[in-house]
Amino acid sequence: MVAAAGGSHERIYAVVRKIPRGRVTTYGTVARLAGLGRHARLVGYALSALPEGTSVPWHRVINAQGRLSLDRVASSAGITQMMRLAREGVRADAAGRIALTKYGWRVETAGPDRRTVRTADRPRERTKPRR
């Protein structure tokens, strides 16, 4: 089981390393791109296991509502995350939300079933017209 977690963590870190400066993405998007389906919580566990001073840009991963999950824990990590994002030009609104439409990492890739994987930072396209 430990070896499986280590392999999953490495896949997560590989995806997070690809997020460009000044962009953010969600835990769920990282999980999908790492081939872990809907295991967003595993992404959080993997990022929390990173050693101090890591080069993995963990601060670019936020929750699906555009908020910093670390803020809820009331730790200095939330402040560190916001400061690092601000240095990269990412700004939160007055409510503390980061606009995924503005700062979201836009990536499309074919999944294992050859369907396009949409990122959470882009609105879903409607297939039926609204009535």
Cα separations in angstroms, 22 against 29, 74, 90, 129: 17, 24, 6, 34
- CB count in 10 Å sphere of residue 42: 19
Residue spans of the domains in the chain: they are 2-117
- The pTM for the full model equals 0.78
| Protein fold of 2-117 | Arc Repressor Mutant, subunit A (1.10.10)
> 109 versus 106: which is more confidently predicted?
106
pLDDT of 87 reads 97
Average of per-residue pLDDT across 47-53: 92
